[in-house]
Chain A
Amino acid sequence: MASADHYEDVVKSRGDEKFAEFEPSKKGLWGHFHDALHSTPALVPLIVLVAALIVFGIVLGGRFFSPFALTLILQQVQIVGVLAAAQALIILTAGIDLSVGALAVLCSVIMGQLTFRYGVPAVAAVPLGLACGTAIGAVNGWLVSRIKLPPFIVTLGMWQIVLAVNYLYSHNETIRAQEIEAQAPFLQLMGMKFNVGGAVFTLGVVAMLAVVLVLTYVLKSTAWGRHVYAVGDDPEAAQLAGVNRHRTLMSVYMLVGFICGIAGWVMIGRFGSVSPSATTGVIGNIQSITAVVIGGISLFGGRGSILGAFFGALIVGVFELGLRMSGADPQWTYLLIGVLIITAVTVDQWIRKVTQ
């Protein structure tokens, strides 16, 4: 070295000094609890869910804790549960999808209209409906990823477009349950019930569980899942690290469109009929976002799990049924869900703190 300033030599001569050690700092029970929550974000909604079940169980007794009542909750949340899984995927990429509910309704309408207006066999109409959902998801994804529009704007527009198309295309006509039952029972497949010791399940519930479990596996154990988190966390970093950001986003939005199609099929099973004015089209987005937020998924992307969103949907279902069974005014449900949303985000902020 030509220059004479050796002002960093002090550090050099003390080179054996400890650096970058990863010794876990001492923490009490509370610290460990915090750690567990930090590494498993789905734990918070699970605790809330169990607590809610216990409270309602104590207040309502065996009436609530019967297999019938508990599986009724599953049946009531099946549509929102599927939509919440889709919404969770989008929110993991730091996006938001306002069009999920409308898309589900449109897919159900397409399945119904294809069968009843054009005489397409129901077995083919369902995959075509799913394909339409995927295609609209692809449009959303392309606008977000290539044109770089904010997901909120894209899906706000798409929500209105899809709802309008849905009414225009169906002439606002409902296909009645009896007709479907007589001519195309396959459309109602998701409504098929089976009984396991007093517990009543429908195929729609099974579909919801399947969607949740498959997504959980894929997000946790495949490269694609890691890429979804990485893109949601920091898209620039993911890109530089070798992740194809565009392909990841496109696949997420297309998959979400497909899952919305499944939600549409589940809707036909649940209601029996195909109705373009189903409320899911208008409030499905907010319901799914509510479930996702209560489920502890960060709206800033990259954090949370599908299971959390599923628990979030179940929490809402438990509150709705529990309060109804105890004879409370339904407004209490909304009030409590509102409190829950704010609490969930507060808890999330606390968990996100790495050190206390």
Chain B
Amino acid sequence: MMDHAPALMIVVPVFASLVLTLIGPLGQRAAYGLLILSIAGSLAAALVTLVQVVQTGQAVYYRMGDWMPPMGIELVIDHLSAGVLVLICACALLTAIYSMHTARQDNPDRLNHYYALFALLVAGLLGMTATGDVFNLYVLLEISALSSYGLLARGKGKAYYATFRYLIMGTIGASFYLLGVGYIYIMTGSLNMADLSEILRRPELEESVSVRIGFTLIILGVWIKMALFPLHAWLPNAYSRAGTTTACLIAPLMTKVSVYVMLRIMFTVFCVDYIFQQIAWSRLVIYLASAAAVLGMITALSQRDLRKMLTYIIVAEIGYLTGGAWLANTAGYTGAVYHILADGLMTLCLFMAVGAVIYRTGQSTAAAMQGLFQRMPVTAGVLLVAAASVVGVPPTCGFFSKWYLLQGAVKAGEWVFAAALIIAGLVAAILFFRLLERAFFGRLADAVTEKKSKKPHGTARKIRIQEAPLTMLLPLVFTGAALFGLGIYTNEVVQYLIRWSVPAGI
């Protein structure tokens, strides 16, 4: 069974979603239990593979249908993908546990179908990460995209139009990717990543305009999918109108996996020399990334809706990741990969905390934060940790990723990016300071809970602790702890995982 872990990891959620579609009559608890069970299974398989990869120091290969790689499809799990796979499973599992109350609230009917789409999205993301075939990646990209349209459209009222725009942009992105694969295929005749990277090293193909167009189309498609500035316009509307569970699942994972795909295409299919010598856009991309980081954070500062604010923080974080990947040095690459893990957890933590606040207060504006430390002390505490991580306060993981990125920027002499990192960090500090100030000193008189209990003036002043339910609190606290944990074990993560995946020649 151990040998089959890579396949099981992806197939188990698919089976779960099929069964979930059919078990409507069994009730909501059964659906909830089955979802958690299947994702826990995936997590176990992902952990087994991670341990195997770290112990042997080699990638794990799995041949689908026992066909040799260039002919058949192969799963390749190396140090980079193993880490991302564990991140996806862990985030999905935490969200699944968290979803007990929120999913029921957002889906009065057809909860089992909602969970089926949830499982399909997880399967799609895992498959995208594990695959070693560029066309297979497209199919799984469409699975994750389709299921995310369904999940996002379950939001309230205005979600439909936002989802429609996301669908149009997402289709353009995926189609660009497909066309790029077509261009690469026409010049090489292959679809397997390892095979492609060998063929693409031939000098006549390095010069070829068509290969360059193919690369451009693929990267443009991935950028649309990961919402890099200025292609990000679809993201804030689509994500901020979604239901709480949906936002917790999609916000941390979709964009991070797209970043992973960008790294895969850049460094596995193409090689370092090609990206930085032949293509040589790094200057331009780093400017875009810097603009994304700074403008994203500043726009976030101007938002009044809590979730919209968080979505603009995602746009800014995408700037960090892209910049790090295009710095063309080890520190930048390490920072980018480490930040995929760190930012996944950070975004999850933020969305969960805000989701808990919205669940309790029913409001999503900044006013919901009033007096949070008195009402929901645990949630507020975790929010504080997540904020510290986004700002980059040691020993949270956010600090270390910024540290590596900054180091990389200085080494590469990209002062614009270094400045953008620092400015974005400062803006984030202002943003969270404002929020937490409200949460700490905000007067309860303005808080929403007051309105509910229409008691006489005197008793209303009394502070009532209204913490979120335990199924929401546990994943929240765990994620908060993981932010510290990842920060403290930075050295180990870099040494055992990321250093192995640094592409040759960088």
Query: Are the chains A and B members of one assembly?
Result: no
B contact set with A: CB distance below 8 Å: none
